[in-house]
């Protein structure tokens, strides 16, 4: 399987995140991508290519232009205040506060952020746009007739919505790629999010649409991040009603329960008649993940890949989460190898 990779991911290297009430070193680190790339090479999965630049247009097909401009300018405006450290918000626009967009960068940081774990740094915009190009280059290959491709995307994207960042995500790589597949003639595209955390951003982007089916299997938002989206009763709105499927599972759920949910999701994708599949491939469902609470073990990721291959669809994998850095390479390549082996 072809891998698309850019070393520009290294430009996103946050120092700390506010997690569980305390400031800790970021879990979303460059070493994650290094380990995946090493495993791709070691397991001789296939060619590794650099992304082609696609510019802003494909990004603006799913993201708000003012939000994109904020991401592009935030660091310069933040550092112009004499701040040489990561930019993190200090409050949120919660219920009954004005939904006005502040002029000042500090206020905009609060307006456009979902959490306090997604630091904007000097290299964030360059890294995030390179990740989008990585996903788009993978999509280009599917459009060109390839059966599958792996976009080694970092920073991840599935928590990034139309107009806000969060969960270590700034631009929604999988959504940008799904839209590109649509724009290049694929009439129906499915996005399946197998990350531990609900893909709130991808849901947000496609919630009112029937041409892109969104499905997510994740830790129950009653107890798990992102808490405020990802419930089973969220089925889409307007045109999109019936084209959004959430499979929340209790923290600690066993592996067989997880695979039952996967089979339900695959059945819906087949019913939908998808012409292509984009997989938001988070492997923080791994039993040893430091911030997640499912039980998949490394061999289970081979099974996951094989099940996905059973759909016999052109498939683009976009890396999302996975914070057990030691095994991340094994777990990601197990999915891709399992997919390839199923043929």
CA 39 to centroid of chain Cα atoms: 20
For helices 173-183 and 124-143, the axis angle rounded to 10 degrees is: 40
**Binds ligand NCCCNCCCCCS by CB under 6 A, chosen from 32, 154, 197, 198:** 197
Token look-up 């491939």 returns 281
Tokens of 272: 């939908």
- Judged by CB under 6 A, the chain residues 204 through 243 that form the site for ligand NCCCNCCCCCS are 225
Catalytic residue among 54, 159, 197, 198: 159
How far is 154 from 169, CA to CA, in rounded Å? 9
DSSP state of 319: E
Distance CA 83, CA 132 (A): 27
Q: Which of 58, 155, 236, 282 binds ligand NCCCNCCCCCS (CB under 6 A)?
A: 282
Total residues contacting ligand NCCCNCCCCCS by CB under 6 A comes to 15
289 binds, among ligand NCCCNCCCCCS, Zn ion, none (CB under 5 to 8 A by kind): none
Longest dimension (CA), the chain: 55
Least gap, CB of 332 to ligand NCCCNCCCCCS (angstroms): 13
Cα→Cα distances 82→4, 77, 225, Å: 37, 9, 33
159 is catalytic: yes
Please check whether residue 110 is in contact with residue 102, taking contact to mean a CB–CB distance below 8 angstroms. yes
- Report the phi/psi class of residue 53: left, alpha or beta, with left for phi > 0 and alpha for psi in -120 to 50: beta
Instruction: Work out how close the CB of 150 gets to Zn ion at its nearest, in angstroms, rounded to a whole number.
Output: 18
Give min distance, CB of 157 to ligand NCCCNCCCCCS, in A. Answer: 10
Quick one: 142 or 279, whose CB is closer to Zn ion? 279
117 binds, among Zn ion, ligand NCCCNCCCCCS, none (CB under 5 to 8 A by kind): ligand NCCCNCCCCCS
Please say whether the beta carbons of 252 and 222 come within 8 A.
no
DSSP code at position 52 = P
Q: Is 185 left (phi over 0), alpha (psi -120 to 50) or beta?
A: left
x/- binding map, residues 144-163, to ligand NCCCNCCCCCS, per CB under 6 A? ------------x--x----
Binding mask 299-338 for ligand NCCCNCCCCCS (x = CB under 6 A): ---------------------xx-----------------
Q: How far is the CB of 46 from Zn ion (least distance, A)?
A: 26
Judged by beta carbon distances under 5 to 8 A according to partner kind, the member of ligand NCCCNCCCCCS, Zn ion, none in contact with residue 89 is none
- The conformation of residue 113, written as its DSSP 8-state character, comes to B
The catalytic residues are 159
Interaction site with ligand NCCCNCCCCCS (CB under 6 A)? 19-20, 117, 156, 159, 167-168, 195, 197, 225, 282, 284, 291, 320-321
């Amino acid at each position: 399987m072809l891998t698309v990779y850019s070393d520009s991911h290294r430009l996103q290297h946050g120092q700390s995140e506010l997690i569980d009430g305390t400031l800790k070193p970021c879990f979303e680190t460059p070493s994650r991508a290094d380990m995946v790339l090493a495993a791709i090479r070691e397991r001789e999965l296939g060619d590794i290519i650099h992304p082609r630049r696609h510019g802003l247009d494909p990004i603006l097909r799913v993201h708000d232009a003012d939000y994109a401009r904020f991401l592009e300018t935030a660091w310069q405006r933040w550092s112009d205040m004499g701040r040489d450290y990561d930019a993190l918000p200090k409050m949120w626009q919660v219920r009954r506060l004005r939904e006005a967009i502040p002029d000042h960068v500090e206020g905009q940081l609060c307006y456009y952020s979902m959490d306090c774990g997604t630091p904007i740094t000097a290299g964030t915009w360059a890294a995030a746009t390179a990740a989008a190009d990585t996903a788009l280059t993978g999509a280009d290959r599917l459009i060109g007739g390839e059966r599958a491709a792996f976009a080694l995307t970092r920073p991840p994207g599935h928590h990034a919505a139309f107009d806000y960042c969060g969960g270590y995500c700034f631009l929604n790589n999988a959504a940008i790629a799904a839209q590109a597949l649509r724009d290049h003639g694929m009439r129906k595209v499915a996005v399946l999010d197998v990350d531990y955390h609900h893909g709130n951003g991808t849901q947000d982007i496609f919630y009112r649409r029937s041409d892109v089916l969104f499905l997510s299997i994740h830790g129950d938002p009653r107890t798990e991040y992102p808490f405020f989206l990802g419930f089973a009763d969220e089925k889409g709105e307007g045109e999109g009603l019936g084209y959004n499927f959430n499979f929340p599972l209790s923290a600690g759920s066993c592996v067989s329960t997880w695979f039952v949910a996967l089979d339900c999701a695959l059945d819906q994708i087949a019913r939908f008649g998808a012409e292509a599949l984009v997989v938001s491939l988070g492997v923080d469902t791994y039993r040893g993940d430091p911030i997640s609470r499912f039980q998949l073990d490394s061999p289970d990721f081979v099974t996951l890949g094989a099940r996905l291959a059973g759909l016999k669809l052109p498939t683009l994998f976009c890396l999302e989460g996975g914070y057990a850095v030691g095994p991340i390479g094994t777990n990601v390549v197990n999915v891709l190898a399992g997919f390839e082996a199923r043929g």
